[in-house]
Homo-oligomer: A and B are copies of this chain.
Amino acid sequence: MTEEILAVYERLSFCFETRKFADLRILLLDMEPADIAHYLENSLEEKEQLMFFRLLPKELASDVFVEIDSDLQERLIKAFTDNELKQVIDDMFLDDTVDIIEEMPANVVKRILKNSTPEDRKQINELLEYPEDSAGSIMTTEYISFSPSTTIESAFDKIRRTGVNKETIYTCYVVDRKKRLVGAVSVKDMLLAEKNSIIADVMDANAVVANTLDDKEQVALMFSKYDKLALPVIDKEGCLVGIITVDDAVDVIQEEATEDMQKIAAVLPNEKPYLKQSIFSIWKARAPWLILLLITSTFTSIILSNYESKLNSVLYAFVPMLMGTAGNAGGQTSVTIIRAIAVGDVEFKDIFKVILKEMLVAVALGLTIGVICFGKIMLIDSLYDKIAITEAVVISVVCAISLIMAKLVGCVLPLLAKKIKLDPAVVASPLMTTIVDALALIIYCTIAIAII
């Protein structure tokens, strides 16, 4: 929050409290919808929120509404008259309406649909049918299309006539009589073309397209790869059914990164901003993995119990260090590979390249860490405990071996998960630690007992 915006918020509060509503509206007209939404959510009491929303200039109401969080949206909708609701929905883009509907309880959804135009209702219902993570679920049907024989001049007329209600006018699409996509044309190319040339002359006939059922994360990556402002979405027949704009792709990229980090940290995905999450929903997102990892830790306890009588106390004291190093080493690799898969740098077909690379790195790191571990034991740890050289050698060697083994598990697991269409981030991270911990312990105990 910049100081500038905080100053504007103060002026808003002053106008609102002193009922200077004309001044309030002038202030609001100069503000970004996202900033107004933030004010509405955080600076007003529940009772004041509806009143404040009603004071919004008409042209801003919908833009602000899509920016506020779903709890407040629900409360506002319940308080709206049918007329108010109609107005807000009419001015919203269909993809935003669909996003809101997906968060609302059934009775609110019914009211929203009742107050939409029949044409919008039909399209909303179609959009709602696409699977949750598909391109179809984030597209909008409000785009501009031309036939290939349209002249540039009449194309601009169409933009002027219908552009106000379209999510973007900067990329328009070209379709044949059967609505099949035949090209894309940018307003830039249209502006730079002769007025009497036709769309077919300036369009890009090989536009990058997404399919309705493509994973939305893959589609978002296409934006960062090809630097587009919008992508057309086609169905199985090649017909244009919608477009996705870059602002929605940005949201997907942010959400997917957040989700992957949550999964890596053993938290179930939760889309709401942190401060809006309830204690219960945070508990629900965190308890399952903690419980699962607690249960699986039984393995390490069993292993330690079994070898209990055979490991001396010196060797015992190094168990946390060994498991920690293996866990850290495995985590470095698994997170690197999970991210590389997510941004499209690595695919399953690269598995042997990846394994080779990780094993070379692992051997180099194993040597490094093994030597440093030996040095540390002889120089530091031997200060407070009597440690034999054989023991130091065994610990260092096991440390190096566990590290290599952890890196192998760390690179193979996410790639296998991807191959069998599981989420690499879920499978690979917390689970990996358990596997790596257990393996490291077994290696340690076996080698230690064999040698000492």
Contact = CB atoms under 8 A, between A and B. Distances in A.
Interface of A: 1, 30-32, 34, 156, 159-160, 163-164, 169-170, 187-188, 191-192, 205-206, 208, 223-227, 229, 246-247, 249-251, 253-254, 257-258, 260-262, 264-267, 273-275, 279, 282-283, 286-287, 289-291, 293-295, 297-298, 300-302, 304-306, 308-309, 313-314, 316-321, 323-325, 328-329, 331-332, 334-340, 343, 345-347, 350, 353-354, 357, 360-361, 364-365, 368-369, 372-373, 376, 380-381, 384-385, 399, 403, 430, 433, 437, 441
Given A188-B163, A298-B376, A316-B316, A361 B286 contact: yes
A372 B294 contact: yes
A227 B337 CA distance: 31
Q: What 4 A-B pairs are tightest by C-beta distance, nearest first? A: A265-B335, A257-B257, A297-B321, A274-B340
Contacts of A354: 274-275
A317 B304 contact: yes
A191 to B, nearest CB: 6
Contact of A301 (B247, B265, B304, B381): B381
A282 B361 contact: yes
A367 to B, nearest CB: 10
The quantity of this chain's copies bound in the complex is 2
B224 A250 contact: yes
Chain A interface, >50% SS class: helix
Given A163-B188, A191-B163, A246-B229, A258 B343 contact: yes
A305 B170 contact: no
Given A316-B308, A364-B283, A350 B275 contact: yes
A319 B318 CA distance: 12
A371 to B, nearest CB: 10
A328 to B, nearest CB: 5
A205 to B, nearest CB: 7
Contacts of A160: 191-192
Given A304-B316, A316-B316, A264 B267 contact: no
A195 to B, nearest CB: 11
Given A250-B253, A254-B343, A262-B339, 17 more contacts: A1-B347, A34-B226, A224-B247, A224-B251, A224-B254, A229-B229, A246-B247, A253-B253, A257-B257, A261-B264, A265-B335, A273-B343, A274-B345, A275-B345, A279-B357, A289-B332, A295-B376
Contacts of A208: 32
B324 A437 contact: yes
A30 B206 contact: yes
A369 B332 contact: no
Nearest to A32: B226
A169 B188 contact: yes
Contacts of A373: 294
Contact of A365 (B247, B286, B328): B286
A144 to B, nearest CB: 11
